[in-house]
């Protein structure tokens, strides 16, 4: 069989495992040693022992999580374009010499990846330190942790949400709860990973009971996001939901009217779209909800503006009757 065929099949199989939520593969020391040999020597290696222990992840061992029930299965997975999403490269102008990458966390194409900050720069760290000590508004009182935002320090694309929820408040990372998992799936559907983008919020501390942040709170916090965006210099910002849009641009028009229309923040193109939490309440990403396709249309426009290919997605036929 042609090697390219075998490789394709293997890539499909691994992609499927990743989509099922698996993160680590069992591989015996013997197989590993064989793989390290030159290609010609491979067939001399002993057969892999199936019961070999799993290779531990590089940093802290993390057991494969018992997969929680899927938030909303996406039957209409994007057909895999040549390389699987784990290896989709993004051209980041300029290259990132001063960035310190988080240690040894592989890019994982699943919505349940172990979330990390991925990368940062001293300038972004300086803002995060100021946020950590901030008492500019009342939201500082009940926070467990501040959530400054995280991701690629040289992104083409930034997502901005409203404010941290309970999971984010606990972990200090933006969009790591259910809405975050849906956002991750949307990013993967775009042919990107969370490592390619930067994700943050208009307020950095959790509003009690997940209430909408007040205009005063958003105004008090906006300088941090503004400073972050000045450093990040993305080509496009996706504003997730009405509150994020209002916090960023102080517009009064609702998200239903504005979504899909290009706006601008400090010279950066802004695409408003629905918040993933709203999508979760209106059918998730099963493809059954027209809201989902609205969001996909908006994200497709973003990809086009970035000069990136728009993966084909097929709307399911409307239910009969
Ligand atoms: N919703 C948001 O707006 N931001 C988060 O970080 C999580 C949920
Ligand atoms: Fe400071 Fe923003 Fe937190 Fe308010 S929400 S305390 S302004 S970091």
Contact 236, 255 (CB under 8 A): no
Over residues 232-256, mean pLDDT: 97
CA distance 175 to 165: 8
Q: Which of 101-115, 138-152, 247-261 has the lowest mean pLDDT?
A: 101-115
Residue 55 within a domain: no
**Is 4 exposed, middle or buried (CB count within 10 Å of its CB: 0-12, 13-18, 19+)?**
exposed
Q: Is the pLDDT of residue 172 over 60?
A: yes
Q: Is residue 249 part of a domain?
A: yes
Residue 75 pLDDT > 70: no
Question: How many distinct structural domains can be found in the chain?
Answer: 1
Rounded to the nearest integer, the mean pLDDT of the chain is 75
Contact 115 CB / ligand 1 (< 6 Å): no
221 in a structural domain: yes
The finding on whether 212 has its CB within 6 A of some atom of ligand 2 is no
Tell which wins on pLDDT, 22 or 198. 198
What confidence score (pLDDT) does residue 300 get?
Answer: 98
Residue 4 lies in a domain: no
Rounded (5°) CA angle 272-276-279: 100
Pairing verdict, β 263-265 and 157-161? unpaired
Beta carbon of 131 within 6 Å of any ligand 2 atom: yes
E strands along the chain, which residues?
Answer: 100-101, 119-120, 150-151, 157-161, 198-201, 236-240, 263-265, 268-273
Q: For tokens 């983008």, name the residue.
A: 197
Distance from residue 249's CA to the centre of ligand 2 (Å):
18
> Which of 16-25, 53-62, 63-72 tops mean pLDDT?
16-25
CA dihedral 290, 295, 298, 302 (to 10 degrees): -150
> Looking at the domain assignment, is residue 37 inside a domain?
no
User: Worst-scoring range by mean pLDDT, 38-52, 210-224, 278-292, 297-311?
Assistant: 38-52
In a domain, 276, yes or no: yes
Residue 133, sorted as left (phi over 0), alpha (psi -120 to 50) or beta, turns out to be: alpha
Tell me, yes or no, whether 232 lies in a domain.
yes
pTM confidence score = 0.68
What's residue 10's pLDDT?
A: 47
Judge whether 124 lies within some domain. yes
Range(s) of the domain holding residue 172: 109-305
Give the domain CATH number at 270: 3.40.470.10
Residue 138 token pair: 């009342």
Tens of pLDDT, residues 39-51: 433 333 333 333 3
Give the residue among 177, 165, 157, 153 at the shortest CA–CA distance from 207: 165
User: Could you tell me if the CB of 204 is within 6 A of ligand 2?
Assistant: yes
d(CA 110, CA 140): 32
Among candidate residues 154, 179, 193, 131, the one with its CA nearest the CA of residue 280: 179
Mutate to test the pocket of ligand 2, among 130, 133, 134 (most ligand atoms within 8 A of CB): 134
């Amino acid at each position: 069989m042609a090697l390219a065929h075998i490789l394709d099949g293997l890539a499909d199989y691994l992609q499927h495992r990743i989509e099922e939520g698996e993160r680590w593969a069992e591989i015996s020391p013997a197989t590993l040693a064989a793989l390290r040999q030159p290609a010609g020597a491979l067939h001399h290696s002993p057969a892999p022992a199936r019961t070999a222990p799993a290779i531990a992840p590089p940093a802290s061992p993390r057991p494969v999580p018992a997969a929680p029930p899927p938030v909303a299965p996406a039957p209409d997975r994007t057909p895999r374009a040549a390389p699987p999403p784990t290896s989709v490269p993004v051209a980041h102008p300029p290259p990132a010499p001063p960035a310190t990458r988080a240690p040894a966390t592989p890019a994982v194409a699943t919505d349940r990846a172990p979330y990390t900050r991925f990368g940062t720069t001293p300038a972004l760290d300086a803002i995060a330190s100021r946020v950590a000590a901030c008492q500019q508004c009342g939201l500082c009182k009940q926070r467990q942790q501040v959530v400054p935002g995280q991701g690629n320090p040289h992104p083409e694309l930034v997502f901005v949400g409203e404010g941290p929820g309970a999971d984010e408040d606990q972990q200090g990372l933006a969009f790591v709860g259910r809405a975050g998992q849906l956002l991750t799936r949307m990013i993967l559907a775009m042919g990107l990973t969370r490592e390619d983008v930067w994700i943050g919020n208009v307020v950095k501390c959790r509003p009690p009971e997940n209430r909408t942040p007040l205009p005063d709170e958003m105004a008090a916090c906006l300088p941090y996001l503004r400073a972050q965006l000045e450093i990040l210099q993305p080509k496009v910002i996706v504003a997730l939901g009405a509150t994020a849009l209002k916090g960023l641009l102080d517009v009064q028009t609702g998200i239903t009217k504005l979504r899909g229309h290009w706006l601008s923040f400090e010279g950066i193109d802004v695409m408003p779209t629905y918040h993933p939490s709203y999508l979760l309440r209106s059918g998730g990403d099963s493809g059954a909800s027209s809201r989902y396709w609205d969001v996909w249309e908006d994200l497709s426009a973003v990809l086009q503006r970035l000069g990136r290919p728009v993966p084909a997605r097929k709307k399911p036929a409307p239910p009969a009757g």
